[in-house]
Structures are given as C-alpha cells and as structure tokens.
C-alpha cells in the first residue's frame, strides 16, 4: 500500500478479526496468570500440589478446564436463547420494562446446570481449579435478563466484534439483552468476565428475532 493511501473497511475487517482473536486469547492467559499470582494469599490446602507437579502443569490443567467450561457455557447460551424465543412467541415480544425481568432471570437460572467455572462441576475437576473459585467469586444466579431499548439489528455485527464495555459479568453468567420488542442478544461471560469468543475472535452471540414482528 502506498504512503498516504487509506485502508478500506473490507481490507480492515479480516485484520480486526485476527486482532480480536489474539486479544481474546491474551485475556484468558492474563486472567490465569492473575489466578496463579494469588498463590501467596490462598490457604495451604489450595496451595498444596502433588510432588513433582510444576506450576506450568497446573496452568495447563487450568487452561484445559477453562476451555471445557467455555464449551458448556456455549450450550447454556443456547438453552437461555430457546427460552427467550419461547417467551417472545407466547407474549408477542421480548421482555420489556413492564415485565418481571428479575423473576425471569431466576427462572432461567433454575433451568441451567451448575456453573461450569466452579470446581465441583465435571468440567472443572482438576484441583487447580479451586483457584478459579477464589478468583471469580461466582454467584448462584447464572442468568440475567437486561432491558436495553437502544439495541437494534444495525449494531449486531459491531457488537459481535467489539462488545460494549458494559457487557461484563461473573464467569459462567448467561446474559440476555432485549430491546423489549423484536430483538434479543444472548451472550455468556467467560473466565475474564467478558463475552466468550469463538476461534475467529467473534463473540459467541445468539441473535433472536420475534416472529410476531
């Protein structure tokens, strides 16, 4: 490219996807490093490790456990999405400010399995994941329904590449953002408390539309 020539949007798109993918992987790495850095302030029962096991091997266990947890989270996103779609079909719209979104959040949480980012679940069996509990401080309510009338189809693509800074939740939380009318976006928070992404770097975002509109 010649000096002074501007990049077009189509040329920038693939570059941005690669950068977002690298950024997502870096966030997971940094999050796990932060967990390891908390060793000095954790109980001896957590710090204890089998003889001969290095911290590098513990990190690998934690990374593998986090990947398995992400896989379960994707399944949970689809579970919440299905329930939200059923709500829209029954009511003619997605939840709005007149609906009991707090009650709906509890109902959605009830149909989800245990949080995959806790050490007592199958996906997080390695001992090292006790540290993840110390780091994430996961709450029991796994689902959240948020009313945001500002979302529309025109911002979906942008959000899948660069999610809002307000899209942050405890690891394992599944969030359904609705405009209260014809659109609902469902995402899940990974170990870094931000939307979990796919291999291309895009947010694993399930987009729902009300068939009544």
**Pair 145, 178: CB distance under 8 Å:** yes
CA distance 161 to 13: 10
How far, CA to CA in Å, does 89 sit from each of 164, 193, 206, 211? 28, 31, 17, 7
CA distance 204 to 112: 18
CA distance 96 to 82: 17
According to the model, what pLDDT value does residue 82 have? 96
According to the model, what pLDDT value does residue 3 have? 47
- The helix or strand, by DSSP H or E, that contains position 184, with its residue range, turns out to be strand 183-188
Nearest CA among 185, 205, 180, 192 for reference residue 34: 192
Q: 80: Cβ–Cβ under 8 A, 6 or more apart, which residues? A: 108, 112, 143, 174, 176, 186
- The helix or strand, by DSSP H or E, that contains position 101, with its residue range, turns out to be helix 101-111
Q: pLDDT tens for residues 68-101?
A: 999 999 999 999 999 999 999 999 999 998 888 9
According to the model, what pLDDT value does residue 12 have? 54
According to the model, what pLDDT value does residue 57 have? 79
Per-residue pLDDT of the chain (213 residues; tens, 9 = 90+): 444 555 555 555 655 565 555 455 555 555 555 444 444 444 444 445 555 567 777 778 878 888 899 999 999 999 999 999 999 999 999 999 888 898 999 999 999 998 998 865 444 444 444 444 444 444 458 999 999 999 999 999 999 999 999 999 999 999 999 999 999 999 999 989 999 999 899 999 999 998 765
- The dihedrals phi and psi of 92, each to the nearest 5 degrees, come to 90, 0
CA distance 46 to 74: 29
According to the model, what pLDDT value does residue 20 have? 56
How far, CA to CA in Å, does 176 sit from each of 167, 179, 180? 11, 10, 11
According to the model, what pLDDT value does residue 136 have? 40
Residue-level length of the chain: 213
What letter would DSSP give residue 7? P
Among all chains, which residue has been given the structure tokens 């693939």?
Answer: 14
């Amino acid at each position: 490219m010649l000096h002074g020539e501007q990049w077009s949007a189509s040329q920038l798109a693939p570059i941005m996807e690669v950068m977002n993918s690298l950024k997502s992987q870096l966030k997971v790495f940094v999050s796990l490093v932060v967990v390891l850095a908390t060793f000095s302030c954790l109980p001896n029962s957590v710090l204890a490790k089998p003889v001969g096991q290095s911290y590098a091997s513990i990190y690998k266990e934690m990374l593998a456990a986090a990947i398995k947890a992400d896989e379960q989270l994707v399944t949970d996103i689809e579970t919440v999405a299905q329930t939200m779609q059923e709500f829209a079909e029954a009511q003619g719209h997605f939840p709005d400010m007149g609906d009991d979104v707090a009650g709906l959040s509890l109902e959605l949480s009830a149909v989800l399995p245990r949080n995959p980012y806790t050490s007592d679940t199958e996906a997080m069996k390695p001992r090292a994941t006790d540290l993840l509990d110390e780091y994430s401080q996961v709450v029991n309510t796994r689902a959240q329904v948020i009313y945001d009338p500002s979302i529309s189809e025109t911002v979906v693509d942008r959000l899948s590449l660069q999610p809002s800074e307000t899209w942050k939740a405890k690891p394992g939380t599944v969030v359904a953002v609705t405009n209260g009318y014809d659109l609902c976006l469902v995402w899940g928070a990974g170990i870094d408390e931000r939307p979990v992404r796919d291999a291309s770097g895009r947010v694993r975002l399930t987009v729902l539309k009300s068939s009544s509109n």
